[in-house]
Amino acid sequence: MEEQTGEILIPCHIAIVMDGNGRWAKQKGFDRIFGHTNGIKTVREITEASVEIGLDFLTLYTFSTENWNRPQTEIEGIMQLLVQSIEKETETFMKNNVRLLVIGNIERMPKDVAAKLNGCIEQTSKNTGLSLVLALSYSSRWEITKAIKDLVNEKIPAEDITEQLVSKHLTTNKIPDPDMIIRTGGEVRISNFLLWQAAYSELFFTDTFWPDFTKEEFCAIICEFQNRERRFGKTSEQVKCE
């Protein structure tokens, strides 16, 4: 849930579908990996902005379950970029009090990538500022299916299953639901991302390709969020009285 600071509502958790790297590169006559390489600069800029704003959680849809179906060279390129970024940024995370978290099927990640991620997660685990959550080998249907299997394996009786218990069995169990979800790159869909958690998220879509997305546009979208009325199923009159 967002925080009220004076008159300004600061969201607690923003999740982003970083789309458009491939098309951005193609437009410039380069191969797709050039788009991902430039996408990392945007990851840096938006993470920095999130620290400055005082956001608690920033979740980035970095690699979906379905992305395993991409050409092997592109998958390897993205994995390599991930390892390089973690190596390069861990020091900055420590300096800026950023904690790294991962959601998704980390067991499916290549061993060296998983080891690098786990090292950074461990090293930054005591940081208390922004939690940067990378969704890796993640999809909502995978996550919900896993939660159902776990509930069955734990032999939880049907009458004891509540929304809270389901939430606890998701990979996001220690992370609040996103207040906002932003998708760059012009497509207007959710693509198997945080389907359960997005029940009351405010959605924003921009045509800007991820490598061109800036701090300024990010802040402009947050301002738009601040002007939306979140009713959570109640009436406008009820919300105004709260």
User: Which residues are at the interface with ligand FPP (CB under 6 A)?
Assistant: 18-23, 32, 36, 39-40, 43, 60, 62, 67, 78, 81-82, 85, 134, 185
Nearest approach, Cβ of residue 40 and ligand FPP (Å): 5
Query: Which residue, 73 or 226, is less far from ligand FPP as judged by CB?
Result: 73
Nearest approach, Cβ of residue 201 and ligand FPP (Å): 20
Nearest approach, Cβ of residue 81 and ligand FPP (Å): 5
**Residue 207 phi/psi, 5° resolution?**
-75, -15
Which residues are known catalytic residues? 19, 67
Query: Which residue, 21 or 124, is less far from ligand FPP as judged by CB?
Result: 21
Query: Which residue, 100 or 170, is less far from ligand FPP as judged by CB?
Result: 100
Please name every residue paired with 17 in a beta bridge, in sequence order, or none if there are none: 61, 183
Residue among 60, 34, 51, 153 at smallest CA distance from 92 = 51
Please state the three-class secondary structure of 95-125 as a single string: HCCCEEEEECCHHHCCHHHHHHHHHHHHHCC
Query: Which residue, 10 or 81, is less far from ligand FPP as judged by CB?
Result: 81
Nearest approach, Cβ of residue 24 and ligand FPP (Å): 6
> Which single residue brings its beta carbon nearest to ligand FPP?
22
The residues, ordered by sequence, that sit 6+ positions from 185 with a Cβ below 8 Å of its Cβ are 17, 18, 19, 20, 23, 207, 208, 209, 210
Burial class (CB in 10 A: 0-12, 13-18, 19+), 136: buried
